[in-house]
């Protein structure tokens, strides 16, 4: 391996985890040669279809609860810093909103966001009443309000790739079939391959979660909404579009649009926010993606025989945007502890 002052680093994957990894390595180790290799970029990535709201689920997805919370906090701080200090638009905006439930108050609680978002609170009786509609027979009984961050990857990914290139990084369009292809050429490999990590690492714990969302034009929607977990409405501030979701089909490899899913999503979202009926008067887009779920996100170091180091960072499921900066910081910290 090259000396600690100069190493050859390659990042495999150009989704939200990959581009953040490249930026973090360049920030922490400006003398390293950084190359990003992927066969899908920007609109072809899973990240591009993400609704982009920073809101983790409440299970422990890291090695411990404390580390999971650290990942959320570090991601929030990263995006917040970009929002406050950006020199050009990069698709990041603060958006307030609600998590509602008709049946269980626990659904509206999120200990990660409570420890992260400064204005997290229970929704008032007046707010619950204002979002209960007799016509749709929707009676909301529980809710939480907080402000979070929406990352529009259709803007963030091109911005990040330009930053990587401007910082001297190389960007290569190439499909990697094995990490052995890279071990002689690079000293450090960051595995940010998402679902393809299942094949590259022979990791049977990586499973697809099929998701389907609809993007409509509704510039009057300025808040996000969740209802009983899988119904959500998330606005993109830059272009006035809104993502409507959703579904979670564990183990499904089906990437085709399902008409019944579309009907259910529209029905549920209009029930929650009736003004969305107006959005159906114009064209809308339906998107399907396979989220790379792992029972525990893998962020760890592996050493190959020839002294090449692999830094694994994959398995984020539907929370890549939410957790990427946090897991990336953690991954680079792990690397720092082992490099010579």
* Tokens read off for 29: 């180790």
Q: Minimal CA–CA distance to 266: which of 245, 289, 249, 252?
A: 245
Count Cβ neighbours within 10 Å for each residue of 188-207 and write b for 16 or more, e otherwise.
Answer: bbbbbbbbbbbebbeeeebb
Q: How would you write the pLDDT of the chain (340 residues) with one tens digit per residue?
A: 444 678 999 999 999 999 999 999 999 999 999 999 999 999 999 999 999 999 999 999 999 999 999 999 999 999 999 998 877 789 999 999 999 999 999 999 999 999 999 999 999 999 999 998 755 678 999 999 999 999 999 999 999 999 999 999 999 999 999 999 998 899 999 999 999 999 999 999 999 999 999 999 999 999 999 999 789 999 999 999 999 998 999 999 999 999 999 999 999 999 999 999 999 999 999 999 999 999 999 999 999 878 899 999 999 999 999 999 999 999 999 999 888 6
Count Cβ neighbours within 10 Å for each residue of 257-285 and write b for 16 or more, e otherwise.
Answer: ebeebbebbbebbbbbbeebeebeeeebe
Say whether 291 sits in a helix, a strand or coil.
Answer: strand
- The pLDDT of residue 58: 93
- The pLDDT of residue 271: 93
Q: What is the mean pLDDT of the chain?
A: 94
Q: What is the 3-state secondary structure (H, E, C) of 222-259?
A: CCEEEECCCEEEEECCCCCEEEEECCCEECCCCCCCCH
């Amino acid at each position: 391996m090259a000396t600690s002052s100069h190493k050859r680093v390659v990042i495999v994957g150009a989704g939200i985890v990959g581009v953040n990894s490249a930026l973090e390595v360049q920030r922490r180790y400006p003398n390293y040669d950084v190359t990003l290799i992927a066969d899908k970029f920007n609109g072809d990535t899973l990240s591009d279809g993400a609704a982009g709201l920073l809101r983790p689920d409440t299970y422990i997805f890291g090695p411990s609860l404390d580390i999971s919370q650290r990942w959320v906090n570090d991601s929030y701080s990263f995006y917040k810093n970009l929002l406050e200090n950006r020199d050009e638009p990069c698709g990041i905006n603060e958006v307030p909103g609600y998590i509602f439930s008709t049946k269980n108050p626990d659904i509206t609680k999120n200990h990660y966001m409570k420890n992260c978002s400064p204005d997290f609170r229970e929704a008032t009786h007046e707010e619950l009443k204002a979002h209960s509609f007799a016509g749709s027979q929707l009676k909301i009984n529980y809710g939480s309000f907080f402000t979070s961050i929406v990352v529009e990857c259709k803007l963030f990914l091109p911005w990040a790739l330009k930053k990587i290139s401007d910082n001297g990084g190389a960007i290569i369009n190439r499909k990697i079939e094995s990490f052995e292809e890279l071990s002689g050429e690079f000293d450090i490999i960051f595995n940010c391959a998402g679902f393809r990590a299942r094949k590259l690492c022979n990791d049977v714990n990586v499973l697809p979660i099929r998701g389907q969302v609809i993007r409509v034009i509704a510039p009057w929607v300025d808040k996000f909404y969740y209802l009983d977990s899988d119904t959500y409405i998330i606005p993109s501030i830059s272009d006035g579009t809104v993502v409507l979701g959703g579904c979670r089909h564990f183990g499904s490899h089906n990437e085709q649009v399902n008409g019944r899913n579309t009907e259910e999503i529209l029905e549920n979202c209009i029930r929650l926010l009736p003004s969305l009926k107006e959005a159906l008067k114009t064209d809308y887009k339906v998107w399907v993606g396979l989220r790379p779920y792992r029972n525990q996100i893998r962020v760890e170091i592996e050493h190959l025989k020839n002294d090449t180091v692999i830094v694994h960072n994959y398995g984020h499921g539907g929370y890549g945007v939410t957790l990427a900066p946090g897991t990336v910081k953690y991954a680079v910290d792990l690397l720092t502890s082992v490099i010579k």
